[in-house]
Structure 1
Amino acid sequence: MSMAEGATPRLDALTTKGRAFLGTRHAILAGAMSWVSERHLVSAISNAGGFGVIACGAMPPELLAAEIAATAALTDKPFGVNLITMHPQLMELIAVCRTAGVSHVVLAGGLPPGPAVAAIREFAKLIAFAPNLAVARKLLRSGVDALVIEGSEAGGHIGPVSLAVLAQEILPALPEATIFAAGGIGRGEAIAALVEMGAAGVQLGTRFAASAESIAHEAFKKAFLRAPARDAVASVQLDPRLPVIPVRALRNAGSEAFMAKQREMVAKIEAGDVALAEAQLEIEHFWAGALRRAVIDGDVENGSVMAGQSVGMVTAIEPVADIMHSLVTEAEAALARHMTPDGTTR
């Protein structure tokens, strides 16, 4: 029997809640990565026993509907959709998910609006991001079904606190909640430690972004293979008048271009040429374009090669099924050192 078929009794015992919530073989949720988390990667992750998540990003409703249908054609396993709260057509996108029979919706990019929470909970399980314990409690009170606590080690848009701290702050305080830990996870030993602390499961992005099934350009994947952890750096906010969410990506000329873009927007704000909200939106459009240049066009020097600090653990371009097998095998081996098969401590 292979590991994917069921030989992970200790890991299974500790992730019972997470696996039941997702409806999957393993409580491994895929991070939603714009341009990367589309039908091919999402279906591959779900088919390998994890939980794939479509990154809606800036998609209009009709494009999201097509992506959901195309993903469903490639897998009969559960998968979800990640929606950005600031999307101007958020409620229409939620309606698309409802019509398509989506079972899980992930809301990212800020506190979920009340109407969106209510609409999603009529047909799907709702997952949201909690950057601290106070917000975690607020989200659970508002009706969110599960949380992701994502540390600053993650790739893409990040919060200010590491997963090591978030896990200690939030997991013991909310033992009944369904919480997935994310940020910098690259090996099964970390998964084992986090589920022992009380996580229902984990979320990974970087390992999957460089997988064989990922549609990312070969140059994008090869940049992952070359990069040590220290090359995945967070962007810096130049001026407090222009609040920007930090983004973690591999250091390159694109990083410098973002600094120049911030200086340009600050100058426009000072001159009264743009309002703050417009400036922030333009920053987000900058990131979307820079990410597309790297992922789709393979311009890894001028584009944004978003990656978490676990990038140093990406040593080969592997099939998703092999990545999943490695993760659960490593986790089970780590747990076996001090646990019986039913999940109790020796």
Structure 2
Amino acid sequence: MSTSPHLDALTARGRAFLGSRHAILGGAMTWVSERNLVAAISNAGGFGVIACGAMTPDRLAAEIAATRGLTDRPFGVNLITLHPQLLDLVAACREQAVSHVVLAGGLPPAPAIARVKDFARLLAFAPNLAVARKLLRSGVDALIIEGSEAGGHIGPVSLAVLAQEILPALPEAIIFAAGGIGHGSAVAALVEMGASGVQLGTRFAAAVESVAHPAFKQAFVRAAARDAVASVQLDPRLPVIPVRALRNAGTEAFHAKQREVAEKLDRGEIDPAVAQLEIEHYWAGALRRAVVEGDVETGSLMAGQSVGMVKAIEPVADIIASLVGGAEAALARRRSPVPEPA
């Protein structure tokens, strides 16, 4: 007998789509969402997602195979649409019999959609209702709506607003909500609004099974929600996507990097496309320093505002059990008979 009947009923479509016990996706985090964390999330009943990031097709294929060696449960792969070898990465996923692919980082190109649909279920991010409808018309099977509370690269709108805009308008769509989710009560509220499930990254980044450096995890434990701040764009010629991370010396270093790149533009040393690439390379290097090397001073501690709910370094299974238990308790309370007034 299910110990979470109310939650199971509301997430039935999401669970069936993912093929997992719970409709809880692990957010794909570069350097963090690799075989160990992905397998741990799937083994605990969630749905792990490998962050391909800048991997080559061969490297991705090896990571998929290694993950499959750690779990027999379903998991997916997140691919960045701007990757120069996107179609080769899709081919690697096909060769490795990946069941679900998430296309992130912009509108997925039609050739990638067609090739993924040939062998897997396809998820994509919808930043507003118009794009959500366009993605569904283009053949995307499920959507992720991610609010600005999330960590890493973020959009401009909060999940509270996106959920109100998109969920009631697309009641037949399979939609997973993400951004700032840390407690089961939030999961309950979102699935009651119509979400088929949720996606979390920050809580899992600090899990026992995460390969992130111990100093990186401890920074999460110490942080409050207000410490996770969005980066500021200094020059309109550098339309950088905001990144949410814990405030540290690296935050100021990014401002300096923008000024340096802007000055190169002024001198005509680089064109805007190369300037944009320099900014992205900055983030990739800063994130690696924090996650892999434990440089919590100048590295990029990408984290969502739910970081304030990370109170300890816990096993993934405990995190998922807490989310499920909290959501079920909240749903059960709201379904209890209302006592008659005395």
Under a length normalisation based on structure 2, what TM-score does the superposition of the two structures give? 0.97
Deviation for aligned residue 1:338: 2.3
User: Of 291, 295, 298, which residue of structure 2 is paired with 1:302?
Assistant: 298
Q: Residue 343 of structure 1 corresponds to which residue in structure 2?
A: none
- Alpha-carbon contact 1:35-1:295 (below 8 Å) kept: yes
Work out the CA distance in 2 between the residues paired with 1:245 and 1:58. 17
Deviation for aligned residue 1:42: 0.1
- Alpha-carbon contact 1:84-1:90 (below 8 Å) kept: yes
User: Of 213, 236, 239, which residue of structure 2 is paired with 1:217?
Assistant: 213
SS of 1:176's partner is coil
Q: Residue 276 of structure 1 corresponds to which residue in structure 2?
A: 272
User: Of 117, 135, 140, which residue of structure 1 is paired with 2:113?
Assistant: 117
Deviation for aligned residue 1:223: 0.1
SS of 1:337's partner is helix
Structure 1 residue 292 and structure 2 residue 288: aligned? yes
Deviation for aligned residue 1:269: 1.4
The root-mean-square deviation of aligned C-alpha atoms, in Å, is: 0.8
Work out the CA distance in 1 between the residues paired with 2:279 and 2:129. 28
User: Of 41, 47, 50, which residue of structure 2 is paired with 1:45?
Assistant: 41
- Alpha-carbon contact 1:10-1:339 (below 8 Å) kept: no
For structure 2, the residue ranges without an aligned partner over 5 or more in a row are: 337-342
Structure 1 residue 313 and structure 2 residue 312: aligned? no
Identity of aligned residues (%): 79
Q: Residue 79 of structure 1 corresponds to which residue in structure 2?
A: 75
Deviations 1:218-274 (A, max 9, x none): 000000010000000000000111100000000001111111111111111122111
Under a length normalisation based on structure 1, what TM-score does the superposition of the two structures give? 0.96
SS of 1:53's partner is strand
Deviations 1:148-177 (A, max 9, x none): 000000000000000000000000000000
Deviations 1:5-50 (A, max 9, x none): x310000000001000000000001100000000000000000000
Question: Which amino acid is the alignment partner of residue 256 of structure 1?
Answer: E
Counterparts of 1:86-165 in structure 2, within 5 Å, are 86-165=82-161
Work out the CA distance in 1 between the residues paired with 2:77 and 2:273. 26
Deviations 1:174-211 (A, max 9, x none): 00000000000000000000000000000000000000
Structure 1 residue 167 and structure 2 residue 163: aligned? yes
Aligned length: 336
Q: Residue 322 of structure 1 corresponds to which residue in structure 2?
A: 318
Q: Residue 230 of structure 2 corresponds to which residue in structure 1?
A: 234
Question: Which amino acid is the alignment partner of residue 228 of structure 2?
Answer: A
Q: Residue 262 of structure 1 corresponds to which residue in structure 2?
A: 258
- Alpha-carbon contact 1:106-1:126 (below 8 Å) kept: yes
Question: Which amino acid is the alignment partner of residue 249 of structure 1?
Answer: A
SS of 2:177's partner is strand
Deviation for aligned residue 1:129: 0.3
SS of 1:211's partner is coil
Deviation >4 Å, runs of 4+? none
